[in-house]
Structure 1
Amino acid sequence: MSNQNEPFYLRYYSGHSGRFGHEFLEFDFRTLGDGRSAAVRYANNSNYRNDSLIRKEMCVSSAMIQEVKRIIKESEIMKEDDSKWPQKNKDGRQELEIRLGNEHISFETAKIGSLVDVTESADPEGLRVFYYLVQDLKALIFSLISLHFKFDAQSERLPSRPEKAWPDVPASGAKFASPAPA
């Protein structure tokens, strides 16, 4: 397992400038202090139908950072080289930067529309690693945001249950039976 105190940083950016201005998706993970937690920042800007910039920030535990590190290490992205990947173009660009311990990588490539773009590239194996890692990271960040911002532990309360909802559970005010002595 990786050292909790090793330097860790991850940033992903995907964007383009077009008919609706500069539209992008960006997120990063940055460990804080002693490595026991991390700040996660997310930004999504779309001017389509006059949408505005969405910014979210949250703090995650070391367990989440260890999982992100595991995903990165298992993908073997740190072994890849983007020199043969499609260059950024009018359709936009993607950037991925990772610092993991003493290793640092920074990739830039064109936006990938589908796996066809991957298989037709000069380095389909390397670009496939990038493509699937980005898909995993985006799924993770969207799940974290959904969980973090839709549930507020301070204000959320369980709805009161109807008295007859669970007949085998004692109604309010009833005492549970004491366990039998051993």
Structure 2
Amino acid sequence: MGTIPLFLAFPSPALQLEDTSRDISPTLPIVANTVVTMAAPNDQFYLRYYSGHSGRFGHEFLEFDFRVVGDGRSAVARYANNSNYRNDSLIRKEMCVSALIVDEIKRIIKTSEILKEDDSKWPQKNKDGRQELEIRLGNDHISFETAKIGSLVDVTESADPEGLRVFYYLVQDLKALVFSLIALHFKIKPI
């Protein structure tokens, strides 16, 4: 995956989906039955990833989602990260991304072939936490839930190492993309 030009991630201060000044829920709201179509009716797209656990610092998690809005020429990307370590607070970011970013995410998903996988043999969520991945791509809809994966050793020791490897690498790619978008969108200072 190459670098993403700055013009692909643009701010949308007028687009406020929720008031983030008052935190009622620690996670992003799940968008149920609100998939907006892009150019073609069978080209629906929604992606949500969650990784979290409850431990001695409370409920700590990382969550992001992409949801197509309006006429399909852009999408809203939302990110939430909660860590109570050293009394950190909830970090929420929201930005608008172009259809090119959405197309790149779709390409990453299709290339990974995650839509062909089944999570029935993957490790179940446990005290160490869980990961969730939900994708709606056209007529395909998947929702995976598994234990948190610490390293590739956890993947190779599972009952379905090939399927879990696909999940593991897809999640790494998606997280890298999201962190890059956030860095481009929120940390670049104008000259």
Instruction: Report the TM-score when normalising by structure 2.
Output: 0.78
Partner of 1:126: 163
Q: Secondary structure at the match of 1:139?
A: helix
Alignment of 1:81-160 (within 5 A): 81-151=118-188, 156-157=190-191
Deviations 1:124-175 (A, max 9, x none): 00000000000000000000000000125xxx12xxxxxxxxxxxxxxxxxx
Q: Gaps (5+ residues) in structure 1?
A: 158-182
Alignment of 1:22-33 (within 5 A): 22-33=59-70
- Tell me by how many angstroms 1:4 deviates: 4.2
Point out 4+ residue stretches in structure 1 off by more than 4 angstroms.
none
- Tell me by how many angstroms 1:82 deviates: 0.1
Alignment partner for residue 61 of structure 1, among 95, 98, 115? 98
Contact 1:8–1:98, Cα closer than 8 Å, also in 2: yes
Give aligned pairs, total: 152
Aligned sequence identity (%): 84
Q: Secondary structure at the match of 2:149?
A: coil
Counterpart residue identity of residue 52, structure 2: G
Contact 1:13–1:26, Cα closer than 8 Å, also in 2: yes
Q: Secondary structure at the match of 1:73?
A: helix
Q: Secondary structure at the match of 1:140?
A: helix
Instruction: Kindly name which structure, 1 or 2, has the bigger radius of gyration based on alpha carbons.
Output: 1
Output the aligned Cα RMSD: 1.0
Question: Distance between the aligned counterparts of 1:24 and 1:9, measured in 2?
Answer: 20
Question: Distance between the aligned counterparts of 2:164 and 2:70, measured in 1?
Answer: 33
Q: Gaps (5+ residues) in structure 2?
A: 1-37
Partner of 1:173: none
